[in-house]
Structure 1
């Protein structure tokens, strides 16, 4: 056994987040760690790597009991971590991010082997299917590409154990398959993986065993061939959830939003589509297809060079998010950390910022209105928090995502854009978000959903627009939806193939 954790307990300010938890990892094993947001998965891994000190219990690595003082101690023992929240420094180049803290120098001098590091960077990223220049500023890259850089950084450490916390959240199917191929290749060489993900398909495709936590307690461990999706979900949430996706039964109404010839050179060209009230239009495509760029342009975050946007048949000019909000749009961004939240602000402040008009009287915030809004939205989305004043950055990734969704629901948008709405969200919360989307559609809200998860796109869309290299390839009706069909167009296939 390469890692053995027994009786691990941990409390923060009297709140017990782990109680007598156990976990084991064998050499050359890919072991999934699963549980709802707040179940204690990340806390457990932070104890393993020395970020948190455990209150009780033992940790053995390679047969020896250890008490790491920090991540560097764990790294020296061959344990690398890919965190859920990106740690990219945007002003540095791709290569500088990859080698940060492990720079290659000429002998004992301070001179960097820049050319060699750049060459090795591009070679490593090519193996992961990512073709970017080592000298490119990391902040210019999409979230998905930044995630691949984080993965590459961990893979370059020659670790014996690699902990992956939601590594595929920003990746498309093609990048995921490339990553899985890399993981399996390392597994054959004896590298072990602790794999944290809410994507059940990935777990059953990649992993050997699953350990489940619920409310900070150990529930059990299962061998993949001996369990099922439903059993794992039941272990995670302690209840039956029913079908993964709610049935979409409402009939869409009149066209709410129409886009004609929208173009932003270098990102997308001649995008045209319409969304009806009560409809969920999915947008699918590979990384770099221009999906996020299109919806950010609709919201005024980017400026279109040509094209028209019509709401209720009337052309509108949207050159800023403020104008988008005034026109009834809401946008849940794919990058909650930098675009969706002010992480140093409290949950209350984040929700209130998007709803100042509805909770203010004569320019002053009405505390009763603010409290009522907060309580309603937090309860509706089941955000796990200690108080309205808890800082957003202290929440789990899934609960941060719920706060982003909550603040936009408070604005009562008539057009809601969701870019990767369930990224990093557990299976129970996903079902809640899907149910809210269904309810909003039934209330007449026009919804646009960008997602890299094909089951999600198929399960939650009335129609799907497929993009390829910045262009709209086709729009598929619900009865045409299948993973094979979508991927055919997403990879540039002929529009008229049946």
Structure 2
């Protein structure tokens, strides 16, 4: 880490409230040139709010911000960009109808003789994407890209700003191992060039591999700053949650029953080609693979979102072919999608409404919701999943990303499914929240639910599953018993090895 007398950024005594809810109270944070500084805390601790204040999206109620030693009042994001401060948001900020190049240069389009210079924007967009090892065509419409590809476009846009301060909020949440390696190489080169990087992530392996210092927030207050070289995981976790959380991946001892979900030679009309797998009652099976391998397509086809073109599916021994999500739900399937923002939630509805939306038949009669039953159901899941919300009537869009994810999970748990498909269930969730979700997965398995988990985090894949099905280019590349599997073995299969 480069030494410097004056920090690039110094935030002191920052306070912020939204109505009666105090989100930040006297928080301090500093960033020096040439360091990667992790900002950590549980979901709702105030990390994103603090960074939105630094980038001018929010105005602080109290406190001081200094950039290069000079006090500034951040009024808007344009001012922050002018000071060399850029942010990659956790929730993607792209316009789906525009191309990749148009999104990269939105608000600062290149012109020649008063006319948009599309050729120059395409060329530069290609260069910035190339720095990330990304081969996306700059003329591609963003709406057609996967979540991971959109994340790479967001990162490329931030790089194009040539920022002196770069804030990365969960930048690897939707990326594959290969893309993460490319991003880390870029981060290290930026650090060498003197850029100060604020790294917000819940992935402990990344923090300890990449960062120089860690600052921790808890319940809107500053807990402290530690140097990576002199701290350890247990210390940071205790700073974050104020308690011991036990084993990171809690063990299960329940037995496995009969085959509940059986899939043979499943194909869809886009990516998957002859997928065969099975999941027993009480078993957790993980699907691993690189982005584009077809993992999500398997889930979507089973749930009736993608059209099945070939293959057979059985549920508890009976033929099963959902032509729509309604049919899948009625058969006892639940599906936590990877994109909670556009597919998992109705952001304008309350926490209560989102949790009970698919469970209306279980909390009422003839389409009329019974208020008492609904209230009891919602309160139970808010407590069980430790969803941080002022009350159940708060719009779900007001929650942090991790708490939104918990609402999505609660929605499906309320249906008591026979088979639960979880696509990136802990994306954007803090370490305490992850442990809670792992306990819930274990409890579901103990209750006889067949659980199919899709995850890009290899430690998670190895830590929570009984078996691992590895996909490569739309096919099953191999299957591993978790007890003897390694990250290297999974990656070998995921990259096309035998």
Is the TM-score greater than 0.5? Answer: yes
**Residue 408, structure 1, aligned to residue 412, structure 2:** yes
SS at match of 1:354: helix
Matches within 5 A, 1:466-485: 466-485=470-489
1:98 paired residue number: 104
Distance 2:214 2:57 in 1: 24
Matches within 5 A, 1:298-447: 298-447=302-451
1:31 paired residue number: 37
Distance 2:185 2:389 in 1: 38
**Residues 306-336 of structure 1: CA deviation (Å, up to 9, x unaligned):** 1111101111121111011011000000000
Distance 2:91 2:281 in 1: 34
**Residue 286, structure 1, aligned to residue 314, structure 2:** no
**Residue 59, structure 1, aligned to residue 65, structure 2:** yes
- Structure 1 residue 454, shift from structure 2 partner: 0.3
SS at match of 2:226: strand
1:6 paired residue number: 12
- Structure 1 residue 442, shift from structure 2 partner: 0.4
1:46 paired residue number: 52
**Residue 448, structure 1, aligned to residue 452, structure 2:** yes
Distance 1:63 1:118 in 2: 37
Matches within 5 A, 1:68-107: 68-107=74-113
- Give the alignment's Cα RMSD to 1 decimal: 0.9
- Structure 1 residue 464, shift from structure 2 partner: 0.3
- Structure 1 residue 53, shift from structure 2 partner: 1.5
- Structure 1 residue 129, shift from structure 2 partner: 2.0
Structure 1, unmatched stretches of 5+, are: none
**Residues 259-318 of structure 1: CA deviation (Å, up to 9, x unaligned):** 111112441100000000000000100111111111111111111111111101111121
Contact kept, 8 Å, 2:269 with 2:306, in 1: the verdict is no
Distance 2:136 2:472 in 1: 19
Distance 1:478 1:190 in 2: 42
Distance 1:123 1:158 in 2: 13
Q: Using the TM superposition, name which of 133-142 and 399-408 deviates more.
A: 133-142
Contact kept, 8 Å, 2:266 with 2:308, in 1: the verdict is yes
**Residue 180, structure 1, aligned to residue 223, structure 2:** no
2:139 paired residue number: 135
Tell me which of 472, 486, 493 is aligned to 2:490. 486
- Structure 1 residue 119, shift from structure 2 partner: 2.1
SS at match of 1:305: strand
Runs (4 or more) in structure 1 with deviation over 4 Å come to: none
Q: Using the TM superposition, name which of 311-320 and 78-87 deviates more.
A: 311-320
Distance 2:50 2:183 in 1: 24
Distance 2:67 2:359 in 1: 50
2:4 paired residue number: none
Distance 1:274 1:119 in 2: 46
2:162 paired residue number: 158
1:277 paired residue number: 281
Q: Using the TM superposition, name which of 319-328 and 3-12 deviates more.
A: 3-12
SS at match of 1:324: helix
Distance 1:54 1:207 in 2: 27
- Structure 1 residue 123, shift from structure 2 partner: 2.5
Q: Using the TM superposition, name which of 92-101 and 252-261 deviates more.
A: 92-101
SS at match of 1:416: strand
- Structure 1 residue 85, shift from structure 2 partner: 0.3
Q: Using the TM superposition, name which of 226-235 and 112-121 deviates more.
A: 112-121
SS at match of 1:124: helix
Distance 1:378 1:173 in 2: 33
Count, aligned residues: 492
Distance 1:330 1:257 in 2: 13
- Structure 1 residue 80, shift from structure 2 partner: 0.2
Tell me which of 247, 252, 270 is aligned to 1:243. 247
Distance 2:71 2:311 in 1: 64
2:238 paired residue number: 234
Distance 1:104 1:362 in 2: 58
- Structure 1 residue 388, shift from structure 2 partner: 1.5
Distance 1:220 1:313 in 2: 55
- With normalisation by structure 2, the TM-score equals 0.98
1:224 paired residue number: 228
1:167 paired residue number: 171
**Residue 194, structure 1, aligned to residue 216, structure 2:** no
SS at match of 2:66: strand
- With normalisation by structure 1, the TM-score equals 0.98
